[in-house]
Amino acid sequence: LIENWFSERYSDNLQLSFRVQDQLLSVKTDYQRIDLFNTYDFGKLLSIDGTVQLTEKDEYIYHEMITMVPYYCTAKSDSALIIGGGDGGAAKRLIDLGIKRIVNVEIDQNVVEISRKYFPELADSFNNKNVELIIGDGIKYVKDTDESFDLIIIDSTDPVGPAEGLFNKSFYENARARLSDDGIIVTQSGSPYYQPEALKMATKGMLDVFSNVRTYIAFIPTYPSGLWSFTMASKSEIMQRKEKVIPGRYFNEDVLKGSFYLPEFVKNII
Ligand code: AG3
């Protein structure tokens, strides 16, 4: 933190900086370093290992897109598993979508505690009767559980450090075994511009295990380049649900269709 600016480094020669009022917290946990800032333009900002995870102002874009797109692409979604997502933002949208059984497996208890204190509107989802919060390793959880889910949502950090094991064939194989026949698994897959390897890893890993894999994109101003990718997969053909689309703040019927239309350079990665 230099002169009250927090910066996320994209490369040796480029970073995005947020001017901050103050730093609220900095902790080194067993898994990662977590920092929290009060920024001028985006409200509270949570970073993990120097990378922006969420801000108060634009978290809705990421959280709507990682939940609502796959939701409207499944025939039914009675149950969902979230891996990561310790802030509660993804669980919150799944509750709003009416999903009755939500299991959220977060590896780092500190993320949950910090969110409870600083992002209570998000973490409040962990008090909902439909949500079961498990502090544990998602990779191990998909191996050990015998429950199956209509939606599996991987709301992880970038594929370096603790989240690396969430982007490979062996993880996707175990996750597939926990997915119902028409279910969908989705992962955040990085910035196509600055992190093409993340998108490549997710696509390749899912294609190793699933016959249907689709990439979609969203505009997220606080993430590297602003252009963000998500990759989803299913055992069965992916089709839009026959149900009226209820808009969020970013997501709507047009976004549901349009987010699958990819720029040529993105198509060339996958
Ligand atoms: N998880 C995805 C964050 C990835 C951001 N990467 C980066 N800034 N380099 C977000 C957690 C919100 N639930």
* Annotated active-site residue in 155, 158, 181, 254: 155
Domain boundaries, position 66: 59-267
Q: How far apart are the C-alpha atoms of 45 and 223, rounded to whole Å?
A: 12
Q: How far apart are the C-alpha atoms of 120 and 130, rounded to whole Å?
A: 17
165 and 40 inside one domain? no
35 and 89 inside one domain? no
- Tracing tokens 């969908």 back to the chain, one arrives at 184
Q: At what angle do helices 89-96 and 59-71 cross, to 10 degrees?
A: 50
Model-level pTM greater than 0.90? yes
Report the number of distinct structural domains present in the chain: 2
Q: Is the CB of 223 under 6 A from ligand 1?
A: yes
Q: Is the CB of 89 under 6 A from ligand 1?
A: yes
Q: How confident is the model at residue 223 (pLDDT cuts 50, 70, 90)?
A: very high
- Is 137 noted as a catalytic residue in this protein? no
Q: What's the N-to-C CA distance of the chain in angstroms?
A: 36
195 and 124 inside one domain? yes
78 and 51 inside one domain? no
Q: Is the CB of 155 under 6 A from ligand 1?
A: yes
Q: How far apart are the C-alpha atoms of 138 and 82, rounded to whole Å?
A: 9
Q: Is 179 a residue whose pLDDT tops 60? A: yes
132 and 226 inside one domain? yes
Q: Is the CB of 225 under 6 A from ligand 1?
A: no
72 and 51 inside one domain? no
> Can you say whether the dihedral through the CA atoms of 264, 247, 175, 76 is positive or negative?
negative
pLDDT, one tens digit per residue, over 33-54 is: 999 999 999 999 999 999 999 9
45 and 104 inside one domain? no
pLDDT, one tens digit per residue, over 88-120 is: 999 999 999 999 999 999 999 999 999 999 999
157 and 36 inside one domain? no
Q: Does the predicted interface ipTM exceed a cut of 0.90?
A: yes
63 and 98 inside one domain? yes
Residue 45 backbone dihedrals phi, psi, to 5 degrees: -130, 125
Q: Is the CB of 189 under 6 A from ligand 1?
A: no
User: Could you tell me the two tokens for 104?
Assistant: 């959220």
Q: Any idea what DSSP says for residue 135?
A: E
Three-state secondary-structure class, residue 152: strand
Q: Which atom of ligand 1 is nearest to the CA of 47?
A: 8
Q: Which atom of ligand 1 is nearest to the CA of 195?
A: 9
Q: Which atom of ligand 1 is nearest to the CA of 223?
A: 8
Q: Which CATH number is 108's domain given? A: 3.40.50.150
Q: Which CATH number is 30's domain given? A: 2.30.140.10
82 and 50 inside one domain? no
Q: Is 2 a residue whose pLDDT tops 80? A: no
Burial of 2 per CB tally in 10 Å (0-12, 13-18, 19+): exposed
Query: Looking at ligand 1, which residue's alpha carbon is closest to its atom 5?
Result: 53
105 and 138 inside one domain? yes
47 and 101 inside one domain? no
